Amino acid sequence: MVREVRPPKLTLAAVAREVGVSAPTVSKVVNGRQDVAEETRNRVLAALQRTGYKSPLQRKSPPAQQAVEVVFDSLNSAYSVEVLNGILEQAAASDMEVILSVTSRQVGSPLGPDERAQRMLDEGRNGMIVVTSAFGSGQLEAFQRRRIPVVVVDPLNPPPGDVFSVGASNWAGGKAAATHLLDLGHRRIAYIGGPARAECSQARLHGYMAALMAVGVPVVEEYISAGPFRSTNGVAAMKSLMALEEPPTAIFAGSDSIALGVLAEARRQNIRIPEDMSLVGFDGTPQAEESLPPLTSVSQPLQDMGRSALNFILRQRSGEEIDSRRVELATHLVVRESTAPPRGQGTSTAQVGT
């Protein structure tokens, strides 16, 4: 019987001897570490290719596709789904894999900022997109030290000036929403916002306030509240507003999800929208169009925001010089059936300018 003679197993040590470097140096190159001189890296890579060496990961699976990690605070809103759809569409066109991470489902990661950033490098990910989440300076610095591109979309906290960000014209959108209600003749207009520290919610609030002050309508503190971008916030705020001695005749909700909560509570209290109260949302999601009644809403180009965020990652990875680190896309008001003049009043003849 002829005995099969197998060639000796190729090891990192054998490659290291051929190149004339240490085995740990070869290991660094195999694992994508950056702390190896360029000339040494090229010699090691040439030897690895010449000898046909494959790392354990390569032997178990095919070479990894380019990948970007996308971090959401949650995925239970139409806003998040629309942004994600834009990212996925652009990723498919760019042959890039998308890895999702939802912070609300994480129970305290044991990894610190540096460990998490290094893990991304080790796993070959090309960058991170953070959507409506808070991202600490320590995390950003850890990623920047390793030259991992990060892009934030509608962040809860203002990003540092050197971080790429994507958003919409929130101030103009807030002003347009309030101006529409003022044009209809409303003067008691409430604002139910998102988280008080969220930059996008603050901008919408300031736009609302600017519209009121421009025509001499006082900003009533009792008419302004903050909470999560959830329908539960709309329900709770609607209850509080209707308990006031002089409730508002119109509500501007800082998101469509909040507005849907207002609609639900209005039905429970037998308040007709828009006959008894007008309602404007923000986001322009499919839910706004499909609600009963269809919701007047400030539309954001959510899918375009997702596409722009991924384009920022791709441009950074290619080494392109990018002049502006901020993309701000235009919003526009879509008028549907949830707004009307106050009860007993026709459309105001004194139109408010935008």
| DSSP codes joined into one string, 125-152 | EEEEEEES----HHHHHHHHHTT--EEE
pLDDT tens column, 269-309: 999 999 999 999 999 999 999 999 999 999 999 999 999 99
Q: Answer for the pair 90, 150: CB distance below 8 angstroms, yes or no.
A: no
CA distances to 24, 211, 244 from 220, in Å: 67, 13, 12
What DSSP designation does 124 have? Answer: T
Q: Closest by alpha carbon to 150, among 138, 140, 160, 136?
A: 140
**Which SS3 state, helix, strand or coil, does residue 166 take?**
strand
Identify the pLDDT of residue 210.
Answer: 98
Amino acid 137: pLDDT: 67
Do residues 190 and 227 touch, judged by C-beta distance below 8 A? Answer: no
State residue 298's pLDDT score: 97
Average pLDDT estimate for 256-281: 97
- Tell me the β-bridge partners of 281: 297
At 46-91, the pLDDT tens digits run 777 666 665 554 454 444 568 898 988 777 788 889 999 999 999 9
pLDDT greater at residue 120 or residue 221: 221
According to the model, what pLDDT value does residue 238 have?
Answer: 98
The 10 Å CB-count burial string (b at 16+, else e) for 250-283 is bbbbbbbbbbbbbbebbeeeebebbeebbbbbbb
72 beta partners:
102, 131
Return the exposure string of 154-179: e unless at least 16 CB atoms fall within 10 Å of the residue's CB, then b: bbbeebeeebbbbbbbbbbbbbbbbb
Structure-block tokens of residue 27: 């290991």
The CA-atom distances, in angstroms, between 293 and each of 50, 266, 308, 347 are 68, 12, 32, 20
Per-residue pLDDT tens over the stretch 180-220? 999 999 999 999 999 998 889 999 999 999 999 999 999 99
- Lowest average pLDDT, out of 141-145, 263-267, 293-297, goes to 141-145
